[in-house]
Amino acid sequence: MADDSITRYLADENGDTDPIETAEWRDAFRALVEQEGPARARFILDQLAVLGRSPAVGWSPELVTPYVNTVPVERQPVFPGDLAIEEKLASIMRWNALAMVVRANTAYGELGGHIASYASAADLFEVGFNHFFRARSEQGKGDLVFYQPHSAPGVYARAFLEGRLREQDLAHYRQEIAAPGEGARGLSSYPHPWLMPDFWQFPTGSMGIGPISSIYHARFMRYLTHRGLVDCGARKVWGVFGDGEMDEPESMSALTLASREKLDNLVWVVNCNLQRLDGPVRGNGRIVDELEKLFRGAGWNVIKLLWGSDWDGLFARDTSAALVRAFAHTVDGQMQTFAAKDGRFNRDNFFGQNKELARLAQGMTDEQIDRLKRGGHDLVKIHAAYDAAARHHGQPTVILAHTKKGYGMGKAGQGRMTTHSHKKLDETELLEFRNRFNLPLSDEQAKTLAFYKPADDSAEMRYLHARRAALGGYLPQRQTKADAVPVPEAESYAQFALQAGGKEMSTTMAFVRLMAGLLKDPQLGPRIVPIVADEARTFGMANLFKQVGIYSSVGQKYEPEDIGSVLSYREALDGQILEEGISEAGAIASWTAAATSYSVHGYAMLPFYIYYSMFGFQRVGDAIWAAADQRARGFLLGATSGRTTLAGEGLQHQDGSSHLVAATIPNCKAYDPAFAGEMAVIVDAGMREMLVEQHDVFYYVTLMNENYAQPDLPADAREGVVRGCYRFGAYGAPDAPRRVTLMGSGAILTEVIAAAQQLAQQGIASEVFSVTSWSELARDGVACERDALENGVERAAYVAQQLGASGGPVIAASDYVRAVPESIRAFVPSARRYVTLGTDGFGRSDTRAALRAYFRVDAGSIARAALHALKS
């Protein structure tokens, strides 16, 4: 079961054809280190590596180092705290976290919760809280901390000791609806800013979202600094994540960006407890080795935190490297077995592997062997690793912390396959846990899962508060104090759209022109963050390259090929555009960082992320949902939207569902404007709602790449545009005996207008309504129904009011699946027949006319649907 990748670091006699010569080389190198120092030794190694990489030799350095701590004991700084008090506090928090989960599941078995993850990470958190995680205060903006989501009970347990949560709150873990009725605050399952807006800052409960988000937040801090907006130079981003979580593609997708940008303000702590939900993360290998290769290969500084202080003496006595060899040949599945068993088993099965190991264990009792700590449970070793990470320059750092899942849970769950889902302990197991951590609880208190909090004037409580005071205050804590940002009148930058005068343009081009105007505003302009995923030229944004530049942490070190062009590519240290390359996941992470700047940094920014609409909610919908949880404020622009407007690209690019998904996000306001004037009004309304009124909403606006005549926006249409629809115009004779009502959105509104003209030629009058937001109309209708049911307030839905003066059957068409216009069926006047047309099915490549005829959303199909409805 040996991992061959480590054998280069071991004395492998079977592969050494001349052991004497090998020994001489080793002795010579040791002498070089002793006489000339490590700097000279590194230089010589670099020179030899150049020779080794030549084609004749074909050698490359191995990325895996021995399975020992990166920070040797002789380089450990003196532990700056009171070790005994910190260990007591960590034990108390472990107990309260456990009690919180077990009590909830004893009362309500369906609530769930997690004990084992925090049990493994408690010490990792506590060293951070006591010595490194700085809070936002008047003295500084503080650090950003991403918490391993399954460890939320432990964070609540600390907040309880700090006085920020009460015992009643802990007793209502995962009972957010029932808690207020009992005078308590319900605690959310994982970090959710939407549910606990003054507490959690970053949602991390969807695995993989936290890691990539932390990278882009760290990069956005550099962006703010380089642009001279907010000084983030002394601040860090800390993230505690799980080793199993590293399997998520989002966790690993931006590692090279972090190293390329030299984000030494970023520190990850990967909790390598070797166990995911179902079993070992890498049962037949070693996840620490695998992660070390990945992070080193991506350019990160890697710190291995594997063994506690109790091992120092063993390593010192191990002159033959027997421990290193044993670890190199022990896979994680076996390591977990050692974690789950007692000292006698480990004496027989680990130290009993050979005589050298057995000699090392001589003189140790079974209990001492059982209590040998992994590095992630040793406060001194953790502090040394964190200190090294905080001091490192030029690279992001990852700390690979070796822990035991369910640490301290004994037979109830330590290192066991079922430990992730273990939510209940019997009385014996509770007493064993109490004894394991020397908790000052009576048998009765332990059996009844009593929460424990030391007296306010105790040494432990004074110490806890003093440490946080020294670090600026308490964490996690979310703040929303940010100055309102004035928004210019729409006429100052969007008159061309509001009074388009029939000029042909696409709404995408109109938006780019509008944003170019906004960027020139002296107050709002610097706050705007244009974001693209390698599609700026596609959307006609190349003119912005020179206007505001593309952000680069190193400026522009080359002369671009198109330097003489008006639209030449320009990177700059103070560039404003975030060009994220072909990575929608990265672009949405950047957007989230900018969209939450008002709360994270106390400085509001306004991001506009424009992308192919199909590659938004469908591709990175989970990240958008997390941004909603984080109370993001900004604009998502789904360009080339609809199933028939992006004619030639075909199935994988044609979007017919994004508005359906957007409607499911409570704080997302989704709009599908047909005309430039409508789009301008929507952007103006969104900016005022987010920057002036400071509401926690974000806007999704779809844009088309089809050029058609843009009419002037009627002066009285603005309210309707924002609320979801307005009467665009009437066609046919006013006294015609047959009447229909036509509704359309986006690019299909032009087909609706053409259908109205066709019907007029057949003697049928129609009124056309431009629907700018199906989802806002539906939400208004739902709100009306709720008011009637809950408050007895009767009022007609806005769409019903708008349709009240029209007549005949209602035909509604959009470039999206029929479920989008179907969402307002319940609010259309009941006496009117309601027919919906949409683009259900997969997209295809063809002309727009052919596609619209195929999906039956062209003018002819709309007219036929109206005629059929009149006959029914």
Q: Is the dihedral of CA 353, 354, 355, 359 positive or negative?
A: negative
Q: How many angstroms separate the CA atoms of 597 and 552, rounded?
A: 19
Q: Are 369 and 351 in contact (CB under 8 A)?
A: yes
Pairing of strands 504-505, 708-709: antiparallel
What are residue 740's phi and psi, to 5 degrees?
-135, 165
Confidence (pLDDT) at 13: 46
63-586-511 Cα angle (round to 5): 160
Q: Are 103 and 133 in contact (CB under 8 A)?
A: no
Q: Are 431 and 411 in contact (CB under 8 A)?
A: no
Burial class (CB in 10 A: 0-12, 13-18, 19+), 386: buried
Mean pLDDT of 682-698: 98
- The confidence band for 8, taking pLDDT boundaries of 50, 70 and 90, is very low
Mean pLDDT of 425-441: 89
Q: Provide the token pair at 55.
A: 């084609």
The residue assigned the tokens 């609880």 is 441
Sheet of 266-272, strands arranged across: 144-146, 237-242, 266-272, 397-402, 301-305
Q: Provide the token pair at 357.
A: 């190991």
Nearest to 397 by CA among 492, 297, 264, 307: 264
Per-residue pLDDT tens digits for 727-771: 999 999 988 999 999 999 999 999 999 999 999 999 999 999 999
Confidence (pLDDT) at 140: 81
Per-residue pLDDT tens digits for 523-540: 999 999 999 998 888 898
Confidence (pLDDT) at 225: 97
Confidence (pLDDT) at 10: 46
- Asked if the model's pLDDT at residue 12 lies above 90, the reply is no
Confidence (pLDDT) at 14: 55
Give alpha helix (H) positions in 145-241.
152-162, 167-170, 209-226
Confidence (pLDDT) at 318: 93
Global pTM value: 0.94
Mean pLDDT of 133-158: 93
- The confidence band for 43, taking pLDDT boundaries of 50, 70 and 90, is very high
CB atoms inside a 10 Å sphere around CB 215: 28
Per-residue pLDDT tens digits for 194-225: 999 999 999 998 899 999 999 999 999 999 99
- What percentage of the chain has pLDDT greater than the value 90? 82
Confidence (pLDDT) at 416: 56
- What percentage of the chain has pLDDT greater than the value 70? 97
Nearest to 145 by CA among 37, 42, 315, 269: 269
DSSP assignment of 61-102 equals --SPPPSS-SS-GGGPPPP-S-HHHHHHHHHHHHHHHHHHHH
Confidence (pLDDT) at 858: 98
Q: Helix, strand, or coil here: 170?
A: helix
- Asked if the model's pLDDT at residue 2 lies above 50, the reply is no
- Asked if the model's pLDDT at residue 99 lies above 50, the reply is yes
Confidence (pLDDT) at 91: 94
| Mean pLDDT of the residues in the chain | 93
Per-residue pLDDT tens digits for 465-493: 999 999 999 999 999 999 999 999 999 99
Pairing of strands 764-771, 725-731: antiparallel
Per-residue pLDDT tens digits for 361-387: 998 999 999 999 999 999 999 999 999
Selected residue with higher pLDDT from 623 and 646: 623
- Asked if the model's pLDDT at residue 7 lies above 50, the reply is no
Q: DSSP letter at 836?
A: E
Nearest to 86 by CA among 437, 477, 399: 437
- The confidence band for 862, taking pLDDT boundaries of 50, 70 and 90, is very high
Q: Provide the token pair at 666.
A: 């409570």
Selected residue with higher pLDDT from 109 and 442: 442
Confidence (pLDDT) at 418: 53
Query: Residue 307's beta-bridge partner residues?
Result: 374
Confidence (pLDDT) at 474: 97
Nearest to 671 by CA among 722, 707, 716, 742: 722
Confidence (pLDDT) at 9: 44
Q: How many angstroms separate the CA atoms of 539 and 212, rounded?
A: 26
Confidence (pLDDT) at 581: 92
Q: Are 844 and 651 in contact (CB under 8 A)?
A: yes
Confidence (pLDDT) at 1: 30
Q: How many angstroms separate the CA atoms of 329 and 117, rounded?
A: 26
Mean pLDDT of 231-248: 96
Confidence (pLDDT) at 117: 87
Confidence (pLDDT) at 417: 52
